[in-house]
């Protein structure tokens, strides 16, 4: 299973994602510049956090028009796994691959701390967690308050598309305590917390590791079906 980590000008979690996959999970992974136009040969795409294009206009609003985006949209529409964390989540909503939007935090401040999250394990990205398990992951964002209209929120709830919810404390004012969602097909996940920053004991937290293990498990299952 081969992973792509897309790199935009201003990405700053691309190396964390790459190392989580390469060093910790021993997976095959390559950086792909925003200038590229193809994702051929990759089985999963990671959209990293950071400050793409300096967060000008709106977080993710410029990245959405990068050269690589038509290929990413095609990749997602083909049902292949796409994962966006933090600025990656913002880019995926701007690109219309996920519903809703990320607004400025209620506090109007950049929030950087570890938060508790409740996991829904019914997605390809979370299958290695226990259902409703409470884990801890770091957050670091200024624009993480998830917003969608009532109809969209009702749909997300009814389809079980809410993958992560803030537990106990809601750090940014997200509606329905949403920290991460999947698309209707279940192959695109966007989340504000950073699992790639919590993948080994040396980092003080391993709660993010099972997200990458879940994607790898799904990839291996898909390969078995394809190859027999
Ligand atoms: N860590 C991040 O990806 C930050 C995302 C975005 N720049 C924000 O502040 O909301």
* ipTM, interface predicted TM-score of the complex: 0.96
Structure-token pair, residue 9: 């000008």
Which residue of 5, 94, 140 sits with most ligand 1 atoms within 8 Å of its CB, as the best mutation to test the pocket? 140
Instruction: Choose the residue to mutate in 141, 146, 147 for probing ligand 1, maximizing ligand atoms within 8 Å of C-beta.
Output: 141
Beta strand extents in 126-184 (DSSP E only)? 134-141, 145-147, 162-166, 178-182
**Given the CA of residue 86, which atom of ligand 1 is nearest to it?**
3
pLDDT in tens, 82-139: 999 999 999 999 999 999 999 999 999 999 999 999 999 999 999 999 999 999 999 9
Distances from the Cα of 208 to the Cαs of 41, 71, 198, in angstroms? Answer: 26, 27, 5
Show the ligand 1 pocket: residues with CB < 6 angstroms.
49-51, 55, 59, 86-87, 140-144
Q: Exposure of 22 by Cβ count < 10 A (0-12 exposed, 13-18 middle, 19+ buried)?
A: middle
**What is the four-CA torsion angle of 77, 80, 85, 91, rounded to 10 degrees?**
-20
138 contacts 179 by C-beta, under 8 angstroms: no
| Distance between Cα 20 and ligand 1 center (Å) | 19
Tally of CB atoms within 10 A around 42 = 21
pLDDT by residue for the chain (228 residues), tens only, comes to 999 999 999 999 999 999 999 999 999 999 999 999 999 999 999 999 999 999 999 999 999 999 999 999 999 999 999 999 999 999 999 999 999 999 999 999 999 999 999 999 999 999 999 999 999 999 999 999 999 999 999 999 999 999 999 999 999 999 999 999 999 999 999 999 999 999 999 999 999 999 999 999 999 888 888 877
Q: What is the CATH number of domain 2-227?
A: 3.40.50.880
Judged on CB neighbours under 10 Å (0-12, 13-18, 19+), 228 is exposed
What H or E segment, with its residue span, contains residue 74? helix 69-77
pTM for the model stands at 0.97
């Amino acid at each position: 299973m081969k992973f792509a980590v897309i790199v935009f000008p201003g990405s700053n979690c691309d190396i964390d994602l790459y190392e989580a996959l390469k060093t910790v999970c021993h997976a095959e992974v390559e950086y792909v510049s925003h200038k590229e136009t193809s994702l051929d040969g990759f089985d999963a795409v990671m959209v990293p956090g950071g400050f793409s294009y300096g967060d000008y206009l709106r977080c993710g609003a410029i990245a959405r028009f990068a050269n690589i985006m038509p290929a990413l949209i095609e990749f997602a529409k083909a049902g292949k796994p796409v994962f966006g964390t933090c600025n990656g989540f913002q880019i995926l909503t701007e690109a219309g691959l996920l519903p809703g939007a990320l607004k400025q935090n209620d506090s109007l401040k950049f929030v950087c701390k570890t938060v508790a999250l409740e996991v829904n394990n019914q997605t390809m990205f979370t299958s290695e967690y226990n259902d409703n398990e409470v884990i801890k992951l770091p957050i670091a964002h200024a624009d993480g308050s998830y917003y969608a209209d009532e109809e969209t929120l009702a749909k997300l709830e009814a389809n079980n598309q809410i993958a992560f919810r803030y537990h106990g404390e809601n750090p940014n004012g997200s509606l329905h305590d949403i920290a991460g969602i999947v698309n209707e097909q279940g192959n695109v996940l966007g989340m504000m917390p950073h699992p790639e920053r919590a993948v080994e004991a040396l980092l003080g937290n391993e709660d993010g590791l099972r997200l990458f293990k879940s994607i790898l498990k799904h990839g291996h299952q898909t390969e078995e079906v394809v190859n027999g």
